[in-house]
């Protein structure tokens, strides 16, 4: 029996894992500068958390969750996203009582959705997300958006397009909802089964339907922006003003509705302009979710955040031919000549590594030539050669593989020298 990796998942092999480290490092560094602190929540939660938090009418809850019963008969679900978990944790840990508000958190970790896999759409993918909870200052909306834009920009991505919208407050949404129902109802039979259901459960989601995207009623659908309350409208203008003050270009698109139920007020996505990226061009999505914490049993709490997948980011970087500065090569390769030297190798390797040096030696009984070849392949900055003479004298032949310079020096000196040169 041959085993295969599950559909929609991937092995990240050593050739690409350094890229992951670099983009994760960038996320950590950016969050340090913006003063967001890392939170790690469990990979699975009570199913009810997502049903309630993400919303019963969403594709995620209806079709995409990995739900299972544990041995105690509880229904659990592999997290399809991070916001519901963070909101749960905010309520459960009484973060509203923390001295510093808003509580600014971020996470990097795998999410699971049973989707039809295609390029840029996986069943397990890694999201980097941030959540700022406790403030309804439009400046924090702009900060969250700026953080996301900076993340991509500092990694060198070009052709970024920021799209924003406001989904309004309850009052605005109710008015818009009625207008949508009036608009679609007379001809709803021309729409797909999902949309017919959405008319009752969540008519806003009709605007996001892939199947009915080209129906003429879509283009003429009432815009949420025409139904914003004065307060929502002023809030949205302030967000835009802050973005302008940071020189962050954006487009307002009233068709941007987002696929999760907890959203209201500011919503945004970052897309990639231009071809070559397959069908999916959305890199990141986020928005406000005032009321989510309350829905999950906490106090009334405003919140805003975004999430993006590192898979899509890495695809975008590859498409644009952007090479990240991967550090290659080890510091030292220990080449041994003869049995005695080979037996001495583990102890010397041990000392090299304890000194902070990335060191390797042969474990395949290779001849000297093969050992040098391995040193070459692994881009060792130095080789250390030991034979019987060196063993007797406690020395090594240390060679700088780049300059070709070599000298026979005591082991301790060699270790010092490598450390110095390599900054170990």
Where do contacts with ligand HAM occur on this chain (CB under 6 A)? 81-83, 113, 115, 120-122, 125, 127, 129, 131, 259-260, 282-287, 289, 305-309, 311-312
Least distance from ligand HAM to the Cβ atom of residue 284, Å: 5
Closer to ligand HAM by Cβ: residue 300 or 328: 300
Least distance from ligand HAM to the Cβ atom of residue 3, Å: 23
Least distance from ligand HAM to the Cβ atom of residue 112, Å: 9
Residue nearest to ligand HAM (CB): 305
Rounded to a whole number, what is the distance in angstroms from the first to the last CA of the chain? 46
Q: Give CA–CA dist 56/404, Å, rounded.
A: 67
Residue 351 in tokens: 């000392």
Least distance from ligand HAM to the Cβ atom of residue 64, Å: 8
Least distance from ligand HAM to the Cβ atom of residue 292, Å: 9
Q: Sign of the C-alpha dihedral, residues 239, 240, 241, 247?
A: positive
Q: Give CA–CA dist 142/378, Å, rounded.
A: 45
Least distance from ligand HAM to the Cβ atom of residue 288, Å: 8
Closer to ligand HAM by Cβ: residue 208 or 409: 208
Closer to ligand HAM by Cβ: residue 301 or 401: 301
User: Could you tell me which residues are beta bridge partners of residue 107?
Assistant: 129
Q: Tell me if 88 sits within 8 A of 262, measured CB to CB.
A: no
Least distance from ligand HAM to the Cβ atom of residue 157, Å: 13
User: What number of CA atoms fall less than 13 Å from residue 104's CA on the CB side?
Assistant: 18
3-state helix vs strand vs coil in the chain, percent to 5: 40, 20, 35
Closer to ligand HAM by Cβ: residue 272 or 398: 272
Least distance from ligand HAM to the Cβ atom of residue 79, Å: 10
Q: Tell me if 130 sits within 8 A of 105, measured CB to CB.
A: yes
Q: Tell me if 286 sits within 8 A of 144, measured CB to CB.
A: yes
Least distance from ligand HAM to the Cβ atom of residue 58, Å: 9
Closer to ligand HAM by Cβ: residue 79 or 399: 79
Residue 233 in tokens: 């409208």
Q: Give CA–CA dist 10/17, Å, rounded.
A: 12
Q: Give CA–CA dist 162/310, Å, rounded.
A: 18
Residue 188 in tokens: 């709803």
State the helix-helix crossing angle for 193-201 and 170-184, rounded to 10 degrees.
140
Q: Give CA–CA dist 310/170, Å, rounded.
A: 33
Judge if the upstream peptide bond of residue 102 is cis by omega within 30 degrees of 0: yes
Q: Give CA–CA dist 114/135, Å, rounded.
A: 33
Q: Tell me if 318 sits within 8 A of 409, measured CB to CB.
A: no
Closer to ligand HAM by Cβ: residue 284 or 358: 284
């Amino acid at each position: 029996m041959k085993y295969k990796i599950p559909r929609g998942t991937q092995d990240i092999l050593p050739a690409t894992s350094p890229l992951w480290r670099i983009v994760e490092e960038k996320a950590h560094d950016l969050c340090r500068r913006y003063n967001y602190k890392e939170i790690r929540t469990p990979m699975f939660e009570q199913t009810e958390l997502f049903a309630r938090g993400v919303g019963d009418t969403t594709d995620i809850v209806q079709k995409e969750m990995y739900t299972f019963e544990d041995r105690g008969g509880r229904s659990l679900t592999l997290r399809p996203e991070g916001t519901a978990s963070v909101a749960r944790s905010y309520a459960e840990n009484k973060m509203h009582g923390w001295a510093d508000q808003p509580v600014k958190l971020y996470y990097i970790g795998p999410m699971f959705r049973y989707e039809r896999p295609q390029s840029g759409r996986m069943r397990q993918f890694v999201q980097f997300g941030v959540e700022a909870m406790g403030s309804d200052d439009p400046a924090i909306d702009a900060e969250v958006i700026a953080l996301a834009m900076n993340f991509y920009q500092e990694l060198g991505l070009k052709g970024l397009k920021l799209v924003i919208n406001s989904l309004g407050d309850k009052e605005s949404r109710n008015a818009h909802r009625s207008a949508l129902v009036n608009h679609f109802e007379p001809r709803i039979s021309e729409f797909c089964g999902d949309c017919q259901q959405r008319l009752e459960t969540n008519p806003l989601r009709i605007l996001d339907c892939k199947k009915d995207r080209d129906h003429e009623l879509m283009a003429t659908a009432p815009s949420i922006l025409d139904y914003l309350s004065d307060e929502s409208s002023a809030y949205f203008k302030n967000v835009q003003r802050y973005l302008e003050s940071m020189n962050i270009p954006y487009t307002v698109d009233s068709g941007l509705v987002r696929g999760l139920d907890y959203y209201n007020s500011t919503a945004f996505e970052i897309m990639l302009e231009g071809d070559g990226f397959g069908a999916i061009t959305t890199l990141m999505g986020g928005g406000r979710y005032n009321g989510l914490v309350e829905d999950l049993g906490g106090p009334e709490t405003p919140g805003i955040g975004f999430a993006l997948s590192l898979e899509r980011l890495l695809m975008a970087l590859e498409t644009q031919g952007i090479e990240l500065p991967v550090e290659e090569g080890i510091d030292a390769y220990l080449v041994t000549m003869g049995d005695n030297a080979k037996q001495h190798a583990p102890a010397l390797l041990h000392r090299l590594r304890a000194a902070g040096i990335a060191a390797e030696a042969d474990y395949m009984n290779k001849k000297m030539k093969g050992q040098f070849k391995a040193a070459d392949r692994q881009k060792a900055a130095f080789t250390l050669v030991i034979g019987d003479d060196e063993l007797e004298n406690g020395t090594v032949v240390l060679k700088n593989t780049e300059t070709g310079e070599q000298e026979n020096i005591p082991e301790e000196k060699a270790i010092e020298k490598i450390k110095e040169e390599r900054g170990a």
